[in-house]
Amino acid sequence: MLKLVLDTNIFISAINFDAKPELIVRLVSSKQAKGYISRFIIAEVCTTLRNKFKFSPEKIDRAENILLNNFVLIEPGIIINTIKNCPPDNKILACAVAAKADYLISGDKKHILLLKKIKNIPILSPEQFL
The CA distance from 4 to 89, in Å, is 16
The CA distance from 101 to 3, in Å, is 5
Regions of the chain short of the pLDDT cut 70:
none
Q: What is the pLDDT of residue 87?
A: 86
Q: What CATH number corresponds to the domain at position 30?
A: 3.40.50.1010
The CA distance from 73 to 86, in Å, is 23
Q: What is the pLDDT of residue 64?
A: 96
Let me know: does 88 contact 44? Beta carbons within 8 Å: yes
Q: What is the pLDDT of residue 84?
A: 87
The CA distance from 73 to 91, in Å, is 14
Instruction: Report how many domains make up the chain.
Output: 1
Instruction: Tally the C-alpha atoms within 13 A of residue 60's C-alpha that lie toward its C-beta.
Output: 16
Range of the domain at 55: 2-129
The CA distance from 43 to 126, in Å, is 22
Q: What is the pLDDT of residue 17?
A: 84
The CA distance from 99 to 111, in Å, is 20
Q: What is the pLDDT of residue 48?
A: 97
